[in-house]
Structure 1
């Protein structure tokens, strides 16, 4: 077994690999960029080496520097994690040439599966079912258009060298094909350095089910059952679970056998995932088709670990050191049900736009031993860390394991309710709504679930003004009580020699002004009025910032985190924000200037779709930005005329920078 390994990655996967290595007595070396100098993964390893600037191309993709770091620290092997260099066959070969063990498949297997078109041809020879499509080398746009017309719409354009939803577009009609193809190719060349694409039939009511495989150097391959990853946004996974709901044992064995055949066809060694698109028919029968093979450990590997009781990183290390697979196929069993939620810095109500900022509050549910009824958190951040524009927007992975799917659902919702993140928008509350949606709760899964359940998933207000205002009032009273002295003449409890005391609190809730009126009676009891609701009011501090609210026969436990005038309210029902207005300092809201369009996040201007003097309509695409590995379209908020473009394609812009100016359309 290795004495020391270098982890050529960052964030939660670097922390995850380091944890298993430490348990096995293996020393670890971290690499880090300028942006990650104080990152959690650096502290999690025994040594750390700086490899360059903040952008991945200047650090984590600089494999010569990584190889130099491995040699300088005496590492015997390199674990690539996922993303970055994990599926780069040239890097795997460079490791071997440098006398280092690459903890992953051989370069030939990465190469064979790395290009989607070639891998489809290979799988066809191996007898693995394929979706109808075009996987050829000729990339002439006219030919690709003809192939799409032949296959029949809707079709899916996919970057041949890609993954993770990058360089992928669904096209519903022929007239949209050219624009979608151009966008795919831009995103593919930026993400993978290769703009080749393939065209496939877009399967209706598809499920995304993948099989975890493992191979050793003795030629043995096993499958560790399946994961359902159908809940996606932007073709990227949101929730993953194992085993797949509705999976029959016969189909599990068929898919497992196909996955093993795929792995053996390329001489696979180590952890890999064979991804299938599953077509659901009206009679509930299903057919599966090979989609791609990810030649690395997957983000969602913890759910497989949960249902098998295995440590897949340990398996990787043992196989890479030459040991045989720890178990044979007949020794593997499924235990219970596991679900993973990807917690991301993004705004679901704004097309899942990634966000940046500082984790001012990062409160997590208590992790438990990973067994039945357990909660696990994999992350690479701490409170006070910044989510930067340089890397993926994922903050953490929250994994639960229960005896049944129903138990796992309840555990995950409870754990998400305890996940309090303040400082930037996240998808935590959106995830809770997905869990509660009829489709997900009843396991009616397909990749269109989010769009189908749009009415219950987006633009929801779970708490409402009355509870938010009551929580803010209780928080204000609690804060004042903590500042009081023992001097009775300094107390602010509202005691007076005659009549009740009344106190008004002013708020802003979802852009609208609001008030709460608190009345303290002679007997010291409280009454609170918010809008038309008026009732007895009481609260108790529970510790750790939690408050127990009683108001009008209702009771709720809430946590409030307030910075300046913004108060974030969390409860078992959900979370919301309310603005607390101090009448002594509040000077009113500034009016937003009309006619300005600003960058929603730091990034790079890819292109403008308009020029000075153009008349545009509301919703018309104006510009394309690239940030956090994805392209984002900036659309016109209203009808108008373009007055000036303030940047050129290729320019870097900061969040809030004005990209172009528009004048209102003349009437």
Structure 2
């Protein structure tokens, strides 16, 4: 076993120590931009990313693991530790992630889905809003909370309510805000919090989806540590108290919790184990809960989230249980069984906490961890707390040591604290037999911790530890912030002064307001003097940091008591600049407006430059080119995207790479390229498909559109980079991709790249598109010429939507002529009517607008419908199905019109590849609002027999259904597989075999409905291998089942009898036919569904009008299916 440690700092060293303990070889991931790295480091080869981005670039880390010949990757915590996409990338590379599988990472990486899962396990969750794609849903939820009188635990006063706005993914306190609302109708705080959370979520996690939930007042934060192996065993190692936190980030953690009653402890552990067992969890995991502070008898608890990884605070659990959790995690990844690791335990009972005498399950004493961070804290006039990193070189680092003291750190004297990473310097852990003794012990230990060169939070930790013994009963998740504000207002300084050349006055004078530097830097100028009167917002100083000027203004009106900083002196962050004695009445001195304040409508030069540059990318700046498109009845690239996203406001499209131009600066001027090659001929970005029609849902997507008015929509150097970036983001966030692929393929005229690009055969675009297809739907759209690279990209998509006037080919006219293959016009190469018949096109559209509409409908099938859509479906009169099959059972009929359109909800049937292999019909639809795939035999072609192309078409469709989790309904009316010499020339036997092999891979729910013929192997193929494969296999009264075709069975099985009938009569032809008809009638009578049902080879003969009920029972009996991704 060889492990790549894909992390840095103290956690990397912690994992390395664990590896040594289980005799696993290990290497560290090293970033090229970092000067030093541990011994045995392997560099992450990434020219595109530096610093923190290198640790989040899944492909580069996977490549490093492969090149270092590692079998496993341990992600630690943070970075990619909770990334389902990273787990998939590793799996594709043949490397194992030390952690749970990707499906569980995807589940618990989405807070809303995790809550839904916990609710399904019977674990209480806080009431929430569901998805909030717009502020309107958030406001509606807030109003419902305000009007609900039963939610006392979420009210901080009788007429108010508290709620949390949260990003669905991520963590670390980002994308989360608390909002307090009253009945006065003012929703401004909610709107502000909603917008901030959306922006933070998009910036840090790549997706802007948020939701709201009620905020539990006076809550404690308790988490339960679990571990599970690959054999269904789930164990716990007790709980941790994580209530002492600020801004949703933990500061001090305690194990076990000194506040929990034994009854509540049992409930929390049982809930955590239930969640772990119900999802078949494996590896380390932490289930987090919020607990009310209303006393032991009335305490309530709610599931908060589950972290499917190693926790920062795992140390305190290790100390009280005497175990190494990281070693256990590694051993589980090596497929060891927990029952073998702990043979002294009766696993099923003792690990569940039922045996109080089990040493393994009972902690010894208490352990407390304090996180020592390189940071400073600032409290503004509105009591808002800000935390700033304190970067720099650690000049002195002397952590405490001794019995019952543990320090996890990677810092040392000379260590550089980089603000782009977590500023954790060390975790200090102590243990003792009693809780209060443990608190005092930690306080004494921290006083011995010596750090110089950077500011730390040691003073805050000591203040918290001083308060805990006397105020622990009032500790909740807001306690730290309340205490910080109290101390700040009392003149307390939360940093250690590093500078010696600053004149400090007594800062305990609570009547003074100290103006502090928000950054570490040099004083360029101070405009205030001792005794000077200043007004609020007056300029008082300029601090230069990292070559940037920071203008400091007075926070209040008053008189300058003392200037504390000198010009050209160096200040640390939060060092005092001057002290102001506030005026007795704020009315005596009017507030000053900001110096040089400009109108809100004033446009600064740099913004004006951006506006001008962006204007060149818009259709309004390219009237001639756009008019040419319109004359051809075509939409522009941007019009296609805006129509797809139904945008009323272009700002709702988040465009990437808009300012790119063609890589032709060596042969054209920049001005010419800006004007004539906007966005390098490719518009890329992200947006949402908003609800429009009954079968349309809100879906976040990545979208790209080649611009045929720019260099014929060819693929240039920079637009390849743009497309790759789009696909990387889509892959990381499992977003569907829609690509408008019109264009002429590669562009030979990009001369700027000739010194860095050879043949360009190492491009990743097509490979990335194929990879995205593994995790999310991809749709390619074409409405004109599409050749070479553009065509290859189009065909990498799951689905191809085309207008009737498109042309597709792997080479355009120039390439064909250059290859000596003749001279052809564009419209002669791969026209849509040919590509539709050969299966290259899935859906044919009338024009651009129709293609976009069909794409929106197609994508909707892969996601759960909204509640409104799920309840607003309409269907045809189902009694029509009783007359769908002709009374003459040998007569062909239109199964689309007679059966499929009646079975599906109105206007939801969407057929794929209708002109290709027409013996098989494949389509998507909805039944009672839920997505379903339908396959059917077409008796109008081959009498419904499955031919070679039909089997291949069916294989392709089943693969999509399995990949996307779409349940399948098979409508069977087939006399079997096609036979005959001509049929065998197509190689159909191999394809039929592939069909059975593909069928065996299906795990999605299946229902089979035999409407007429179900004969032999062809009938079994429509049941995907056997009539036992579907969850339900039913037949209509018109159904006929037989092991082979009746005509063939009579001729083959009764050949002698038929010949004898001819010999024994003067009318041999009539006698033979009469005997033949008699035998055939017997076969048909025996094969009738109502008779064949006696043999129990299928499940029921049903009234055709009840077919939808059986489909619902067989496909949706477990409730709504999860996202099709």
So what's the TM-score if we normalise by structure 2? 0.42
RMSD: 3.4
CA contact (8 A) 2:246 2:480 kept: yes
In structure 1, the residue matched to 2:421 is: 391
Write out aligned runs for 1:135-534 (5 A). 135-136=130-131, 138-152=132-146, 153-173=161-181, 174-281=187-294, 285-325=298-338, 326-327=341-342, 328=347, 329=351, 330=358, 331-350=360-379, 351-368=385-402, 374-438=404-468, 442-454=472-484, 457-458=487-488, 508-510=503-505
CA contact (8 A) 2:288 2:303 kept: yes
Summarize deviations over 1:21-65 as a string: whole Å, max 9, x none: 123222211112244331xxx32x523324447755631111111
In structure 1, the residue matched to 2:22 is: 24
Secondary structure class of the residue paired with 2:329: helix
CA contact (8 A) 1:215 1:271 kept: yes
* CA distance in 1 between partners of 2:555 and 2:143 (Å): 30
In structure 2, the residue matched to 1:97 is: 92
CA contact (8 A) 1:359 1:386 kept: yes
Alignment gaps of 5+ in structure 2: 147-160, 182-186, 352-357, 380-384, 508-522, 529-537, 558-579, 581-590, 599-603, 611-1125
* CA distance in 1 between partners of 2:504 and 2:605 (Å): 34
Summarize deviations over 1:313-359 as a string: whole Å, max 9, x none: 00010000000122341432211101111111211245342223324
* CA distance in 1 between partners of 2:59 and 2:481 (Å): 44
* CA pair 365-385 structure 1, distance change in 2 beyond 3 A: closer
* CA distance in 1 between partners of 2:218 and 2:52 (Å): 38
State the shift of 1:603 in Å. Answer: 13
State the shift of 1:87 in Å. Answer: 0.4
Which of 634, 637, 640 in structure 1 is aligned with 2:593? 640
* CA distance in 1 between partners of 2:176 and 2:99 (Å): 26
Write out aligned runs for 1:498-647 (5 A). 508-510=503-505, 591=526, 595=539, 639-641=592-594, 642-643=596-597
* CA distance in 2 between partners of 1:462 and 1:185 (Å): 35
* CA distance in 2 between partners of 1:604 and 1:94 (Å): 41
* CA distance in 2 between partners of 1:396 and 1:459 (Å): 29
Summarize deviations over 1:82-126 as a string: whole Å, max 9, x none: 111000011112212211111000111111111111111111111
Secondary structure class of the residue paired with 1:640: coil
* CA pair 87-79 structure 1, distance change in 2 beyond 3 A: same
* CA pair 322-438 structure 1, distance change in 2 beyond 3 A: closer
* CA distance in 2 between partners of 1:88 and 1:403 (Å): 39
* CA distance in 1 between partners of 2:556 and 2:453 (Å): 31
Secondary structure class of the residue paired with 2:197: helix
CA contact (8 A) 2:367 2:438 kept: yes
* CA distance in 2 between partners of 1:365 and 1:333 (Å): 30
* CA distance in 1 between partners of 2:232 and 2:463 (Å): 45
* CA distance in 1 between partners of 2:120 and 2:84 (Å): 22
Secondary structure class of the residue paired with 2:55: coil
- Detail structure 1 runs of 4+ shifted over 6 Å in the superposition: 459-463, 596-605, 615-619, 644-649
State the shift of 1:429 in Å. Answer: 0.7
Summarize deviations over 1:437-486 as a string: whole Å, max 9, x none: 156764542111123334664377889xxxx9xxx9xxxxxxxxxxxxxx
* CA pair 323-601 structure 1, distance change in 2 beyond 3 A: farther
* CA distance in 2 between partners of 1:602 and 1:221 (Å): 51
* CA distance in 2 between partners of 1:403 and 1:600 (Å): 51
Summarize deviations over 1:292-320 as a string: whole Å, max 9, x none: 00010111110111111110000010000
* CA pair 336-438 structure 1, distance change in 2 beyond 3 A: closer
Secondary structure class of the residue paired with 1:348: strand
* CA distance in 1 between partners of 2:544 and 2:429 (Å): 31
State the shift of 1:279 in Å. Answer: 1.1
CA contact (8 A) 1:434 1:457 kept: no
* CA pair 438-105 structure 1, distance change in 2 beyond 3 A: closer
Number of residues of Structure 1 aligned to a counterpart in Structure 2: 500
CA contact (8 A) 1:160 1:197 kept: yes
Larger radius of gyration: 2
* CA pair 116-599 structure 1, distance change in 2 beyond 3 A: farther
The 10-residue stretch of structure 1 (242-251 or 99-108) with the greater mean CA deviation from structure 2:
242-251
* CA pair 335-439 structure 1, distance change in 2 beyond 3 A: closer
State the shift of 1:215 in Å. Answer: 0.5
In structure 2, the residue matched to 1:525 is: none
* CA distance in 2 between partners of 1:167 and 1:349 (Å): 20
CA contact (8 A) 1:55 1:390 kept: no
CA contact (8 A) 1:344 1:395 kept: yes
Confirm whether residue 61 of structure 1 aligns to residue 69 of structure 2: no
CA contact (8 A) 2:527 2:540 kept: no
* CA distance in 2 between partners of 1:214 and 1:601 (Å): 47
State the shift of 1:507 in Å. Answer: 7.8
* CA pair 148-76 structure 1, distance change in 2 beyond 3 A: same
In structure 2, the residue matched to 1:14 is: 12
* CA pair 301-603 structure 1, distance change in 2 beyond 3 A: farther
CA contact (8 A) 2:163 2:213 kept: yes
Q: Which structure is higher in RCO with an 8 Å CA cutoff and minimum separation 6?
A: 1
* CA distance in 1 between partners of 2:543 and 2:208 (Å): 26
In structure 2, the residue matched to 1:131 is: 126
CA contact (8 A) 2:524 2:541 kept: no
So what's the TM-score if we normalise by structure 1? 0.69
* CA pair 440-157 structure 1, distance change in 2 beyond 3 A: farther
* CA distance in 1 between partners of 2:173 and 2:548 (Å): 19
In structure 2, the residue matched to 1:36 is: 34
Which of 122, 129, 136 in structure 1 is aligned with 2:117? 122
Secondary structure class of the residue paired with 1:378: strand
Alignment gaps of 5+ in structure 1: 473-505, 513-587, 606-614, 620-636, 652-667
Query: If each structure's helix is expressed as a fraction of its own residues, which one has the higher value?
Result: 2
* CA distance in 2 between partners of 1:193 and 1:246 (Å): 38
